[in-house]
Structure 1
């Protein structure tokens, strides 16, 4: 296996920490970002120059390009960019404050977008590479009480879907990672919860509040196995557009996608009935989308 160099955001905890540890242990080099450098003192002491570090808060989007440029300068080449940093914001839409909404979008969506935009010139210049964008089963399915989290994950999925088509010609592959529930600190440490309005005590949005406080039921996903799959995906050519990780992710996404497809198919006659009779050939439109893929 050829040694690789990785840029990973958010390596202090969760998937980012597990990934950094696995990659460094097998001999790869890692450029990692954290909000607090002291959180990775142990890793730095163990791996020295093979672990390049920078402080980065994705909400400070103006600083992202400079960090990415410095990481490339330090390593000369980076083979894989992992946009991992993010968190969950839970609560009914009406319960969310403007500050909570802006912070969630700045971190999960705008921060990820700007990270990838900053990496693309370097990837093009070196002749290619791979981008892994951490999404979630919440990028395909929705639950009451997660509206803003879903908005960021559905948003970044649309972004990556388009970017993947734009940059394939440069030998840059893009993969969306869609984990289900995993035994990381996502639920009990990093998630933020909106102030609760009494009126919503009767709403199904309260489900997320119970999930975040219930420690009797563990998430099914094994973070180490999930990270193994993420790392292995980099060796696949062409890059898989998506990888679903966890039985809950597969089951829930399969169920909701099936419902959505059935609803769309039921509207076929309605959809075509709204075209001009002398409009463009719909087969021609379909061919354009196939070529874009």
Structure 2
């Protein structure tokens, strides 16, 4: 039995994961900004579930949630940084306040959660941190520049964190899901108030009023939850896990294209060393 702390459990992948963790016999601190939204998940597990109000942009709430979980269960073995939301806008269209709010939630919220949980993991010389990224960090679609940037930042930090914590017995895995049938592209998706006509054929095609992705995503959140449980149970978990056939295929295409471009520009790239 392990103790999990999962952020963003009101809907989608976080909800599916919380349900799977509890059904598997583990303890779980199940969090959401509105704690009433997770009461139905935890109601059947009075001993192993702890519903908590948690806004990851509020450091006081983070400290209180970590303390409550450690007091009830003794320790936190698995941290899942799942809280976040989507934002669509051409880079030029985005409002400064929107951008900062997005980074505060998707990136700095995860950073603050890690800083609050890692001291206990270091003391126990064990633990797992799962940072939920997105295939968007890899494919960088038009209209998702800032969302992709938050996830790319999360992955870059996760790689360094993995190298820092692995010798201490703590694993870090970044997870890149593709499209899953959740509220991500519906209620949870935000966009800029401004729409510039010149971007109609690029970023404009992905604005909420014309996007047809919601409800048609190929991924099953319950299967994703089982895959995440399998990663935590693995004796040699990966630094990066891609989830979904769409994500797997897109990852391969991007990697192949990057390799081809790298080779094409090899001569110029390698011409900058000091020569005697």
- TM superposition score normalised by structure 2: 0.94
1:129–1:171 Cα contact (<8 Å) kept: yes
Secondary structure of the residue that 2:275 maps to in structure 1?
coil
User: Separation in 2 of the partners of 1:132 and 1:215?
Assistant: 26
Q: What residue number does 1:50 align with?
A: 48
* CA displacement 1:54-85 (0-9 Å, x = unmatched): 21111224542342233222211222111111
Deviation for aligned residue 1:212: 6.4
Deviation for aligned residue 1:128: 0.9
Summarize the alignment of residues 134-145 of structure 1 with structure 2, pairs less than 5 Å apart.
Answer: 134-145=132-143
1:65–1:114 Cα contact (<8 Å) kept: no
2:31–2:38 Cα contact (<8 Å) kept: no
Q: What residue number does 2:93 align with?
A: 95
Which deviates the most, 264-273 or 48-57? 264-273
Deviation for aligned residue 1:262: 1.7
User: Separation in 1 of the partners of 2:93 and 2:59?
Assistant: 26
Instruction: Give the direction of change, closer, same or farther, for the CA distance of 1:252–1:49 in structure 2 (3 Å limit).
Output: same
Which deviates the most, 40-49 or 255-264? 40-49
The structure richer in helix per residue is: 1
Q: What residue number does 2:170 align with?
A: 172
Q: What residue number does 2:230 align with?
A: 232
1:80–1:129 Cα contact (<8 Å) kept: yes
Secondary structure of the residue that 2:270 maps to in structure 1?
helix
* CA displacement 1:88-113 (0-9 Å, x = unmatched): 01111222111211110000011011
Query: Does 2:51 correspond to 1:38?
Result: no
Which deviates the most, 54-63 or 19-28? 54-63
Secondary structure of the residue that 2:4 maps to in structure 1?
strand
Q: What residue number does 2:151 align with?
A: 153
How many pairs are equivalent? 276
Deviation for aligned residue 1:167: 0.7
Q: What residue number does 1:266 align with?
A: 264
Which deviates the most, 63-72 or 168-177? 63-72
Instruction: Give the direction of change, closer, same or farther, for the CA distance of 1:65–1:277 in structure 2 (3 Å limit).
Output: farther
Instruction: Give the direction of change, closer, same or farther, for the CA distance of 1:263–1:244 in structure 2 (3 Å limit).
Output: same
Summarize the alignment of residues 201-280 of structure 1 with structure 2, pairs less than 5 Å apart.
Answer: 202-209=200-207, 213-214=211-212, 218-277=216-275
Instruction: Give 2:192's match in structure 1, choosing from 194, 198, 218.
Output: 194
Which deviates the most, 30-39 or 62-71? 62-71
User: Separation in 1 of the partners of 2:73 and 2:145?
Assistant: 39
Gaps of 5+ in 1: 279-293
1:131–1:175 Cα contact (<8 Å) kept: yes
User: Separation in 2 of the partners of 1:142 and 1:175?
Assistant: 21
Q: What residue number does 2:123 align with?
A: 125
Deviation for aligned residue 1:201: 5.2
Deviation for aligned residue 1:213: 4.1
Q: What residue number does 1:64 align with?
A: 62
User: Separation in 2 of the partners of 1:153 and 1:212?
Assistant: 24
Deviation for aligned residue 1:261: 1.8
Summarize the alignment of residues 9-48 of structure 1 with structure 2, pairs less than 5 Å apart.
Answer: 9-48=7-46
Instruction: Give the direction of change, closer, same or farther, for the CA distance of 1:88–1:212 in structure 2 (3 Å limit).
Output: farther
Gaps of 5+ in 2: none
User: Separation in 1 of the partners of 2:237 and 2:245?
Assistant: 22
